[in-house]
Structure 1
């Protein structure tokens, strides 16, 4: 009898272990940047809180600095579930979802409050983007949209005081036609370069200028090759936190709620860190790294680009989305 009881207990323990093992999940999270950067803050917070709230049943492994590849390749892996999570700038998803380039319309959001109101989980903008992704059968689930700092202009050749100072410069742009056309409207010559190749492109003269968040500039040491920073603040860096639908389906309903809740909180943290970077990092770049910082008159920049908003939105099939954003501000 004692032997039967022990056998039964062992069987129950084995069953419990198998159930626990079935529910245990490790998620691979990819991003293109290195610390310090709001993307890393978002990833670190997400990892810590998900592991804590699931009692370790869901663990997160972070792969920073493009260690899993460039965004295009990672996005495709996200679709099939070989990468579970991805944090990136919206313009890097332009090939797969052209409408996300709506965030590349410069000077469309007057401030962070307007941006946050327009992009909060459950907002019309958020739901519209998820609907567009579903229509294209991308196999991704947006967890959060956030702003990871304002984007500013950095130049290798000299300080920028006016719009005329950048005429004819070879301007690095991400794979977004709207970004390229915007800088063309400013009088530069756009050159598409992937983020991991940006430092070398500036260093070798393939490009002479770039635009980025201050965190991205500092984290990737772009100040070494482009030591002139102009605070154009032409956009709040639209950023997204997305998950593979296949990976989402591996989670229990309870785990899904935890992941969704933590991702939303992480997005708010990302925006907060972006705002802090805007307040502090220009001074850090100037004092600690010898960067020349200028504050050009923004009115000519705004005047050159604002009339193109509706034209650009129509080109990417986002006229309705533009109207939703304007209605949210």
Structure 2
């Protein structure tokens, strides 16, 4: 009979290894920046459940939570090298060091709305980016989670083009992120995610951009209580596995991982897109944030198109960008 074991910490890793040797059990290690209540962690738990359901063998899971193993840039390094982490969910921009084209799927203003986003992620249109990530980073995409709508969060209100001009804000590390926000007249800066809270608190930056779940989970509302509904991105969060790990699995477990990854990704997309509005409303009701629309959003959309086109052309991905837009 198949056995699924979920281990909350690495404290009994030695016991797991001993058990594995005795029972030919496969042990897989995951990582999340967040606690058990976050959509990413829930999606990873669903992935674990589904693998156990689909695999007629013994497999155990050891997942490190709350950034215990570092931030997402550390996760990428571990996955690429095939050490410490076997599977995780992360932002594409954090994989740009190894696969320069991968941030295209996370480019601001790429998706028109949630329906366009879900259709694109279900269509296989991202296959060229998946192939590049596998070839250049040794990381395999096994599903797509995400669904948070990203907005501006700032210490002071940012409601129009005048207030956005020169706004010092944190963006993710991929160059396209800085290029997009520079095009809409902000002053972007790529700093480590775990430094954002203190950077706003000390005035190094005046804000950042993110989805509601992260703002709530990490209490960013304490330093950036003003939310501007730019709706500039709907998150794409690949569920990934180290290819070094995947290629070493038995064929039937590989099949289970691929099936479970696709299904867990769909689970994560539905969960996060539903929770996004709920979490935003929870913070409003608690008096933790003040929310406003951005006056002139249509102008933002016009400003970014040339940057998107140039970026896709530079990557040789013009056809891919057009295919995504056409979904």
Q: Give the TM-score normalised by the residue count of structure 1.
A: 0.86
Displaced runs of 4 or more, over 4 A = 17-22
Separation in structure 1 between the aligned mates of residue 126 and residue 106 of structure 2, nearest angstrom: 16
Bigger mean CA deviation after superposition, 243-252 or 125-134: 125-134
Aligned to 1:147: 146
Question: What CA deviation, in whole Å up to 9, does each residue of 1:66-98 have, x standing for no partner?
Answer: 211222222121122212112101111122212
Aligned to 2:7: none
Q: 1:196 aligns with which of 194, 197, 206?
A: 194
Aligned to 1:168: 166
Separation in structure 2 between the aligned mates of residue 200 and residue 322 of structure 1, nearest angstrom: 36
Deviation of 1:20 (Å): 8.1
Gaps of 5+ in 2: 1-17
Question: What CA deviation, in whole Å up to 9, does each residue of 1:85-112 have, x standing for no partner?
Answer: 1210111112221212212332221122
> In structure 2, do the counterparts of structure 1 residues 89 and 19 end up closer, same or farther at CA, with 3 Å as the change threshold?
closer
> In structure 2, do the counterparts of structure 1 residues 125 and 207 end up closer, same or farther at CA, with 3 Å as the change threshold?
same
Separation in structure 1 between the aligned mates of residue 166 and residue 325 of structure 2, nearest angstrom: 33
Show the 5 A alignment for 1:198-277: 198-277=196-275
Question: What CA deviation, in whole Å up to 9, does each residue of 1:273-313 have, x standing for no partner?
Answer: 22112321221111114211111232122122123220122
Matched, 1:113 2:112: no
Question: What CA deviation, in whole Å up to 9, does each residue of 1:48-69 have, x standing for no partner?
Answer: 3323444671122222222112
Aligned to 2:288: 290
Deviation of 1:209 (Å): 1.0
Aligned to 1:92: 94
Aligned to 2:129: 129
Separation in structure 2 between the aligned mates of residue 243 and residue 207 of structure 1, nearest angstrom: 34
> In structure 2, do the counterparts of structure 1 residues 90 and 134 end up closer, same or farther at CA, with 3 Å as the change threshold?
closer
Separation in structure 1 between the aligned mates of residue 42 and residue 162 of structure 2, nearest angstrom: 37
Gaps of 5+ in 1: 1-16
Deviation of 1:35 (Å): 5.0
Separation in structure 2 between the aligned mates of residue 311 and residue 43 of structure 1, nearest angstrom: 35
> In structure 2, do the counterparts of structure 1 residues 18 and 75 end up closer, same or farther at CA, with 3 Å as the change threshold?
closer
The alignment partner of 1:294 has SS state of strand
Separation in structure 2 between the aligned mates of residue 23 and residue 130 of structure 1, nearest angstrom: 31
Question: What CA deviation, in whole Å up to 9, does each residue of 1:26-55 have, x standing for no partner?
Answer: 111122334543211211211233234446
Aligned to 2:3: none
Aligned to 2:61: 60
> In structure 2, do the counterparts of structure 1 residues 290 and 140 end up closer, same or farther at CA, with 3 Å as the change threshold?
closer
Deviation of 1:188 (Å): 1.5
RMSD: 2.2
- Higher-Rg structure is 1
